[in-house]
Structure 1
Amino acid sequence: MKFAAFSGVLIEHSIQEAMQLTKKLGMDGIEIAVREPHLSAGTSLPRVKEIQALSRSLDLEIPVLAGYVGGFSDASDSEARKSFDEFKRLLDIADHLDAGMIRIFPGGPNAFLANEYHYAKAAHWVSLCAEEARKHQVRVLMEIHNDSLVETAESSLRLLRMIESDNVGMIHDAGNMYITDTDYGRDSVLQLGRYLFHVHVKDELRVAEVGAPGTFTSTTRHGQEKFLQSRMGEGGADHRPLFEALVETGYSGWVTLECHAPFPPYERLEHDFQFVRGLLSSLRVAP
C-alpha cells in the first residue's frame, strides 16, 4: 500500500506548503482537493506546471485529483453539462500531474430515498465521464459517501452495474460508511471486489448534540444523526477489519488520510498516519 495526505486537510496552506508538509510526514503522495487555493478546473497551465515540478522534486506522487464536480442525479441538464465540461478540463490537468484517478460525485439523495431515475441519470453522465477519461488513461472514482446514491457497497454496485465501464470504481471510506451505518469491514471489501480502486480513512463518532467544533449532522436511515469528526482510534469506526481485508485481498493501491478532527492539520495527519502504521505493524505488514 501507498499512503497519501488529502490536501483538503491542509487547505489553509498553499498547495506548495501542503506538498512539503506531506513529504515531511513521510507519505508517498498527496491527493489534491480540487478546491482553491490548491487547484481548480480554471487553474492556469503555468501554475499546474509549477505543481508538477514540485511533485517531481519532492518525489511526491499525485495519485488522485479529488474533484467536487457531479451531482448529476439531481442536477438540471445544463448543470450536468457544466459539470461534465469541468471534468474534461480536469482531465487535461491530470495529464500534466500524472494523476491516474479523478473523483466525481454522482449525486443524491440518500440511497434509501432514491428512485430508479436518480440512478439512471447518474449512470448516463458518469458513463460519459468514463468515456472521456479513457482517452487520457484516467480512472473515474466515486466515493462511498453518506447522503448520496452510493452510501453503501450495495448501492455503489447498483450504480456501477448500470455504467458497465472498467475504468469506473469506488473509494472505500470507512468513516462515511460508519455514518451511514453500513458494513465497512471485510464484507464491504469483498463485495466491491474489482471495483475497489482507492481507499480513504478517517474516524467519526456518534454524539448526542452538535455545536462543539467538529460536530455536524447527517441524514441516515435512523433520521437526523449527530457526529463528531475524530482522529483515528478516538471515534467509533473500527478500521482494523478494513485493513485486515485489504491485506487479505492483496490490495496494493493508495490509502489517503483525510482527518478533519478539530486539531491542527499537521498534528491530526501525523496522528492518523502513526495510527495506521501501528495497525499495519500489528498485522505484521510493513506500511
Structure 2
Amino acid sequence: MRFSVFTASTPDWTPEEAVRILADQGWDGVEWRVTDQEPADPPGFWAGNRATVPMTGLEASVPVIAQLTRAAGLDFSGVGGYAKAADHDGVERMLAATAALGARQVRVTMPATGSGEYRELFARTRDDLEWVAERAAFHGVKALVELHHRTITASASAAFRLVDGLDPAAVGVIHDLGNLVIEGQEDPLSSFQLLGEYLAHVHVKNAAWRPTGDRRADGSVVWREEWAPLRTGQGDVLGYFTALAEFGYDGWVAIEDFSTELPLAERTRDNLAYLRDVVGLVHDRRAA
C-alpha cells in the first residue's frame, strides 16, 4: 500500500514546496488538483489554492509538473481532475494529460443530484462514461468515478450500477471514507466486494456531524457536516483499513485532509505517521 496527498488539501504550498515537503516527510506520491479556480488571499482549499495546476494552459504545464514530481522522488497516485463526464473536450484533455504525465488514472466528476431528474441524469452519464471508457482505453489510462456526497454516485451501490459492464481497465471507482460519512455509507467490506475489480483507488479523510443550534419549523435539530482530523472524525479509520486488508486492496491511498486544527505541515506529517500505525496494527492483528 502506498500513500499520497491530494493537493486540494495543501493550499498554502506552491508546487515546488509541496513536492519538497511531502518527499521529506516520506510520502510515496502526490495527486495534483487540476482545475481553474477563483483567486483568494489567503489561499483556501477551493479558491486561491497554490498547489493547483490550472486547466487553462494544462498542456504546457504537464512537462513542468512531471519533472518536478519525479525530481522529488515522488510518484503519481493519479490526477484530481474536475472535468465533468458530459464535458467531452475537457475529459479528453485530462485523459491526454494523465497519459503524458504517466499518472495512470484521473478523476472524472459526476453530476450533482438536484441538477436534473435522477434517472435521466444517470442514463445520460452512463452514455457519457461509455464514451469516456473508449477514450481512456485509447490513451492507456483509467477514468475514475468518485463516491461523493450529493452526486449521482454517493454510494458504492450507485457507482457499481453506473460502471457495471464497462471495461475495468478503462473505468474504475474511488472509494472515499470521509465522503461516505456525509452520504452513501455502506459496510466497507461489502462495498469493496461489490465493486470488485472496479475498486481502483482510495481517498481517506474524515468528517463529523455537529448540531448547528438551529431548529426546523417542526422543532427538530439541524445538523451540519464538518471536516475533521483523521483521528477524531466519525469514520472508523482502523475498521476501514481492516476491511481493505481483508479484501486484498494494496494500491494507492490518497489523503485529502480538509481539517484545520493543525498547521498544514504538521497535519500532513501526523497523518502519515497515523496511517502507518494503523496499517501496522492491521497487519499485526491479521498475523496473530
TM-score class normalised by the smaller sequence: 0.7 to 0.9
TM-score (ref. length: structure 2) = 0.84
Q: Does 1:11 align with 2:1?
A: no
**2-side partners of 1:181 and 1:125: how far apart?**
23
| CA RMSD between the two structures | 2.4
3-state DSSP class of the match of 2:172?
Answer: strand
Q: Aligned-pair distance for 1:47?
A: 3.0
Residues 223-232 or 86-95, more deviating: 223-232
TM-score (ref. length: structure 1) = 0.84
Q: Does 1:164 align with 2:166?
A: yes
Residue 42 of structure 1 corresponds to: 56
Q: Aligned-pair distance for 1:45?
A: 4.3
Q: Aligned-pair distance for 1:40?
A: 3.0
Q: Aligned-pair distance for 1:223?
A: 11
Q: Structure 2 counterpart of 1:273, which letter? A: L
**2-side partners of 1:107 and 1:53: how far apart?**
33
Q: Structure 1 counterpart of 2:9, which letter? A: V
Q: Is the 8 A contact 2:154 2:184 kept in 1?
A: no
Unaligned runs of 5+ in 1: 73-79, 212-221
Cα deviation digits, residues 218-245 of structure 1 (max 9, x gap): xxxx997401211112111102222112
Residues 249-258 or 49-58, more deviating: 49-58
**2-side partners of 1:44 and 1:153: how far apart?**
31
3-state DSSP class of the match of 1:106?
Answer: coil
Residues 181-190 or 21-30, more deviating: 181-190
Q: Does 1:27 align with 2:31?
A: no
Residue 245 of structure 2 corresponds to: 247
3-state DSSP class of the match of 1:41?
Answer: coil
Q: Aligned-pair distance for 1:102?
A: 0.7
Q: Does 1:94 align with 2:93?
A: no
Q: Does 1:236 align with 2:234?
A: yes
2:196 to 193, 196, 220: 193
Residue 71 of structure 2 corresponds to: 57
Q: Structure 2 counterpart of 1:271, which letter? A: D
**1-side partners of 2:179 and 2:187: how far apart?**
9
Q: Does 1:85 align with 2:83?
A: no
Residue 260 of structure 1 corresponds to: 258
Cα distance change on mapping 1:49 and 1:172 into 2, 3 Å: same
**2-side partners of 1:164 and 1:49: how far apart?**
31
**2-side partners of 1:127 and 1:168: how far apart?**
9
3-state DSSP class of the match of 1:108?
Answer: coil
Q: Aligned-pair distance for 1:13?
A: 1.8
Give identity over the alignment, percent: 27
Q: Aligned-pair distance for 1:98?
A: 0.6
Cα distance change on mapping 1:114 and 1:46 into 2, 3 Å: closer
**2-side partners of 1:110 and 1:142: how far apart?**
18
Unaligned runs of 5+ in 2: 37-49, 215-219
**2-side partners of 1:223 and 1:126: how far apart?**
40
1:207 to 190, 204, 210: 210
Residue 158 of structure 2 corresponds to: 155
2:125 to 122, 125, 132: 122
1:109 to 106, 113, 129: 113
Q: Structure 2 counterpart of 1:50, which letter? A: V
